[in-house]
Structure formats: C-alpha cells, structure tokens
Amino acid sequence: MTPPPDFSLPTPSPSDQDKSWALIAYLRSLSSSATLSFADYMQAVLYHPQWGYYGSGQVQFGAGGDFVTAPERSPLFTAGLVFEWQQAQAAGLGGDVLELGAGSGQLALDFLQASHQRGCIPNRYCILEISPALRRRQQERLRAALPDALFARLIWVDSIEALRLNAQTDQPCFSGGLLIANEVLDAMPVTRFRWRPGQVSSAEEQRVSCDGARFTWVSAPPSVELVQALADFADKWPKDTLAEAPVAAEINTALPAWLAELQQVLSQATGTTWLYFFDYGGASAEVYRPDRTDGTLRCHYRHLAHDDPFVYPGLQDITTWVDFERTARLAAAAGFFVDGERSQAAWLLGTDVPEQFTRLMQAAPDRAASARIAQGFKELVMPTEMGERFRVLRLRVEPA
C-alpha cells in the first residue's frame, strides 16, 4: 500500500490504512489462483460496500476532499439543468427527475430549491445510488436542508432494475422526464489493454496480479468482450493515427449492456425522457491518441492526481476519459435517440445561465460575494477550466 519514493501523497490515517489492508486481503483472495481483470479490480476498490472508495463512503467531495465536481463549484451548473427541466415540461415530457450517482447531494439540493423558486418542482426526484454509505449521507444532508414537502419528493433506489417499481406505492419510481448523470461514466469499471491504435489483432489485455505486498500489471490474451469492443470501432479509425509501438488504453466493455438495460427500463415510462451525461472526454481519436502512451487513467487522492491505481486501494478515486463518440454510437444501437454532444461551456451558455449570472452579480451584497460568483462561473465555462474539457451528451427515450 505504500507509494513508491517518487510519490508525494499524504500518508493515510491509521484507520484508513487498516481499511485499505482489509481490501488488499480481499483482493488477494480473489487473485490467489489467477489474475484479476482490471475491471474487477476497479469494481472492488471503488464499490465494495465495506472497503470500496464509493461503496463504503470513503470518498469526500468538495474543497476539503479528493476532487470538486461542477455542482460544488457553482449553483449555476444546476441552474442550467433546471432551465432544461423547464423546457422539458413545456415539451410535455414526464414529470420526474432521475439522478444517477448523487455524490454529496449538492445537485439534488440545488435542483429542488431552484425548481421550487421557479415554480416547476418535479413530481419525484429519484436518486439511483449504489453505495449504501452515500445514500445515508445524502438522506441526512437533504433531510436537514430541505422543507418536509420537498424532501418528501425524494426517492432512492440502488439499481436500474429497481426503477421499475416503488415497493411502497406499487407504482414505477420514474415516469419519465429528465435524467442527470454527472461524472458517472468516468467512474465505471474499465478493461485495461495495450495495442497499436486501430489494430485489434495487436491487443493484449492488462490484468492485475498480486506480487507480494503490491499489485502489478500482467499481459494476457484479450478477452472475447475486449476483442468485440475494439472491433466495434476499429474500422472507423483515422489511418493517420495508427502507431507503430503499442500503447496502453482503457475501454468500458460493459457499456453496451448497461445502456441497453437503461433504455429498456426508461422506454417503459409513461413519458419521454431527456438524458444529460456530463464528463471529461472526447471523440475516439482524441481519447486513443497514439501519444497517450499510458492511456487516460487517473487517480485522485486529496486533490493530488497521479496514474497508479494500485496505491492506497479503496482510499483513492480512479477514473478514465469517456469516449463520447463510442458512447453515442452504442446508445443509438441500444435504442436511444442521440440529440447531440457539445462542450459544457457551449451547453451552459445556451441556457439562461448567463442571465442568471448577471442577476446574481447585481444582487451580490459585497465584493467578496461577487468574486465567489464570478470565480464559480469562470470555472464552469472557461476553456482552461471545465468549459472545454467537460462534454455534454444528450440522449432521448420515447415511451415504448
């Protein structure tokens, strides 16, 4: 668990170290007779309910945690979503909101408060949260921050399948409307591999082995799922991006099945649903550029970023860039209508957020408040901040 000498990461507390060692022992038991796929390793270190980074609630959001998401940077991010919600209601969509992975609960809090102020409160605000610990944190925070009438509109589920029926009411949990997925795709487990970009026959899977007290990469023949995933877009590869030497990369081989399940459930809703996926990433040729010799995998621990997923298992975040081109293609194959993809800045500036920003600045009580509002807006839209690095993919599902 100890990082190599060139790392400058803070030392975890004794209790956190104990937790990480328990997870390491669990992973060793899984790999005692064979190697682990990196997707299985990532699933365990992020989502194990007792020791995983998200599953156990180890993650800390905001300035004092490991990273800051858009809703924590400025309420103007959620204001853009409330604008989209108003457009959805005007278009006659379903009356519910569904958030995948609500994190700290900040987005849900801002959305319910802002929609209340604008007179467009959703019938239900459903949160799909697979982490029991995060569900408890979200419930405690939102119960304390919201009036009873608004809190009563919240529903929590732990799986896509659970959206079909609310056990308490015998009614579907989600009847259509707006689905929000902020930084969800980047945290889904991925398969790690090496290849010459665009050449499926050159691919080798990178699996995980436990070498004494440390995990290491081990090369293996590619799985059937990996070959199929790479073949899905290899023929679309720009010829000028082919590389002579193999490079490391990552791909979500489970994404087609996940999208298919989501579409199947949403299509059974009584109303149309607009889906918004926010994340960092780009087109296939950008994500798999040959000069990205070590892929896009990044780890975050107390606001420090590095690229070793085997440091502090269960105590750090692990993410990869999202291939939005592939995601849109797979979504279309699963039955979604693809309405387009653009930068976060272009999306926000196309809503009423600029007008709301102006009103907030005019109403700011002092220069310090004005500076905070301006800084938050800048972080959301500036190219050097989140404006261009983050993309927005909009999908649509019509009732079956």
pLDDT tens for each residue of 354-366 = 999 999 999 999 9
- What is the C-alpha separation between 157 and 166, in angstroms, rounded? 9
Q: Is the predicted pLDDT of residue 2 greater than 70, yes or no?
A: no
What is the reported pLDDT for 5? 43
What is the reported pLDDT for 199? 82
- Give the number of C-alpha atoms closer than 13 A to the C-alpha of residue 391, restricted to the C-beta side: 20
Mean pLDDT confidence for 87-93: 93
Share of the chain above pLDDT 70, in %: 92
What is the reported pLDDT for 165? 64
Mean pLDDT confidence for 109-118: 97
What is the reported pLDDT for 8? 78
Map out the domains of the chain with their CATH numbers.
Answer: 70-187+258-280+324-397 (3.40.50.12710)
Token pair 């994340």 is found at: 279
Distance linking the first and last C-alpha atoms of the chain: 50
Range of weakest confidence among 16-20, 196-200, 375-379: 196-200
What is the reported pLDDT for 366? 93
Mean pLDDT confidence for 217-234: 91
Q: Mutual orientation of helices 75-90 and 106-118 as an angle, nearest 10°? A: 50
Q: Give the number of other CB atoms < 10 A from CB of residue 305.
A: 13
What is the reported pLDDT for 373? 94
What is the reported pLDDT for 245? 76
Nearest one of 73, 12, 23 to 389, comparing CA atoms: 73
Q: How distant is the alpha carbon of residue 178 from its chain centre?
A: 17
Q: Which long-range contacts (CB under 8 A, 24 or more apart) does 220-225 make?
A: 220/35, 222/193, 223/37, 223/191, 223/253, 225/191, 225/253, 225/254
Angle at 269 between CA 264 and CA 270, to 5 degrees: 145
What is the reported pLDDT for 201? 87
- Give the number of C-alpha atoms closer than 13 A to the C-alpha of residue 22, restricted to the C-beta side: 14
- What is the C-alpha separation between 206 and 219, in angstroms, rounded? 5
What is the reported pLDDT for 169? 61
Asked whether 332 and 338 are in contact (CB, 8 A), the reply is yes
- DSSP output for 213-281: TEEEEEEEPPPHHHHHHHHHHHTT--GGG--SS-EEEEE-TTHHHHHHHHHHHHTTSSS-EEEEEEEEE
Q: Which residues contact 77 (CB under 8 A, 6 or more apart)?
A: 70, 71, 107, 348, 380
Q: What is the DSSP letter of 61?
A: B
What are 41-61's pLDDT values in tens digits? 999 999 999 999 999 988 888
Q: Is the predicted pLDDT of residue 4 greater than 60, yes or no?
A: no
- What is the C-alpha separation between 248 and 195, in angstroms, rounded? 7
**For the chain, what is the mean pLDDT?**
91
Q: What is the DSSP letter of 67?
A: B
Determine the number of helices (DSSP H) and then strands (DSSP E) in the chain: 14, 15
